[in-house]
Amino acid sequence: MSKLVAPHGGKGLVCCLLHGNDLEAEIEKAAGLKKVQISPRAKGDLIMMGIGGFSPLDGFMTKADWKGVCENYTMADGTFWPVPITLDVSAADAADINEGDEIALEHEGTVFATMKVSEKAEMTDVDKKWECEKVFKGKGEESADDVFWKIAMEDHPGVQMVMAQKEYNLAGPVKVLSEGEYPEEYKGIYLTPAEVRTMFEERGWSDVAALQLRNPMHRSHEFLAKIAIEVCDGVLIHSLIGNLKPGDIPADVRVKAIECLVDNYFVKDNVIQAGYPLDMRYAGPREGLLHATFRQNYGVSKMIIGRDHAGVGDFYGLFDAQDIFDEIPTSDDPGKSLLCQPLKIDWTFYCHKCDGMASLRTCNHGKDDRVILSGTKLRKALSEGAEVVDHFGRDEVLVILREYYAGLTEKVEVKMQSHAGGDTMK
């Protein structure tokens, strides 16, 4: 019996990826099916369904699931889920598709899955706006009622993504046929939930924390991971290797930087680095919940949630992603509840007076004594070739990042958040 936390949903790992003869037969069948072009986001969702990362989902959500998830984090059968996982298609495509049809889902020339359509539902602009308000609106100043829609279409990539979705959603179970470029391009980093669970078990771990990363790891992330190592059996440094927004540092550079940091500053036996194939949804606190939900499938029992986790601009309060874990519904059925717990850590930084890393809970000094670390600030400095203040990142890591920026031909604009510079620190 595994001592690791059970996969979400109470059904074990639900993996929709076919293998061997089943896979060959399905690929052959898919060639004769109507092809629908899908977004990069849907591709990532399918791969997660393929490898069990989205257990218990075995396909895209129905309108009832969508509604329940938006309204109360709950699918129609009562299972917790934090953000809609839906598949949008154009009205033209939808006109040729009926409930009960089998279709092939294609992205950039690769058929990623077949799907048996169980429902075709129109998604009006009113529906999409409602989804945005439920999923993306937070407690930050940019989410205020009189501000949100004035700026969200310009400044919130999650809102942009949902509003750009096509006119219909298709629901139904999928058979996944490909993991795309990930197994080749991210060999040793792209690991399935089953593989990660096996690694945890081999090390005798039962209580494992995950550190979510989409930026290079700097001192503050290193500190979070080390706090987790002190209180858990080990830490999974888990990077997004799906698509990011322009200006973000590509996954291969981040992976190299993390490797360098782990080699130089960690006890290797207590850390595993891996990557997952999803795109960011930029859903702030709800994204924090999604991070915990799919991490549970990887065998992770504690999700590290620090300051402004998965934040976007100033749409969210700095600790909303921690608080939301106390606001979500729970069920008497553990299979239907989120079991992965947050490991809440306060705002962390290097403090000159403390002479080390500290947090708002441990350091009694002032703002001027602290080096406020933020990925946004770091990227801005690096993209402009500016000096990075001491204690911001490890020298070995900065060398790798500088190399990357020096090789860029186009300048990268990095929009600053008001709290990235510590201005909102009390």
Q: For residue 360, what are the contacts with CB-CB under 8 A and spacing of at least 6? A: 346, 347, 425
Let me know how many helices (H) and strands (E) the chain has, helices first: 15, 15
Question: Which of 83, 104, 115, 363: binder of Zn ion (CB under 5 A)?
Answer: 363
Tell me the closest approach of the beta carbon of residue 409 to Zn ion, in angstroms. Answer: 41
Alpha helices in 73-137 (DSSP H): 91-95, 125-136
Does the active-site annotation cover 72?
no
Tell me the closest approach of the beta carbon of residue 224 to Zn ion, in angstroms. Answer: 17
3-class DSSP state for residue 5? coil
What are the phi and psi torsion angles at 172 (to 5°)?
Answer: 145, 160
Nearer to Zn ion, 114 or 348 (CB): 348
Q: What angle do CA 316, 42, 49 make, to 5 degrees?
A: 100
3-class DSSP state for residue 171? strand
Tell me the closest approach of the beta carbon of residue 118 to Zn ion, in angstroms. Answer: 57
Nearer to Zn ion, 90 or 362 (CB): 362
Nearer to Zn ion, 119 or 346 (CB): 346
Q: What angle do CA 109, 114, 117 make, to 5 degrees?
A: 125
* Number of residues binding to Zn ion, judged by CB under 5 A: 6
Nearer to Zn ion, 34 or 365 (CB): 365
- Pick the catalytic residue: 169, 197, 215, 297? 215
Give yes or no for a contact between 243 and 266, defined as CB atoms under 8 angstroms apart: no
Instruction: Name the percent of the chain in helix, strand, coil, to the closest 5.
Output: 40, 20, 45
Nearer to Zn ion, 163 or 360 (CB): 360
Does the active-site annotation cover 215?
yes
The site string for Zn ion over 341-360 (x = CB under 5 A, - otherwise) reads ----------x-xx---x--
Tell me the closest approach of the beta carbon of residue 211 to Zn ion, in angstroms. Answer: 23
How many CB atoms lie under 10 A from the CB of residue 374? 22
The site string for Zn ion over 364-383 (x = CB under 5 A, - otherwise) reads -x------------------
> Catalytic residue numbers?
214-215
Positions that interact with Zn ion (CB under 5 A): 351, 353-354, 358, 363, 365
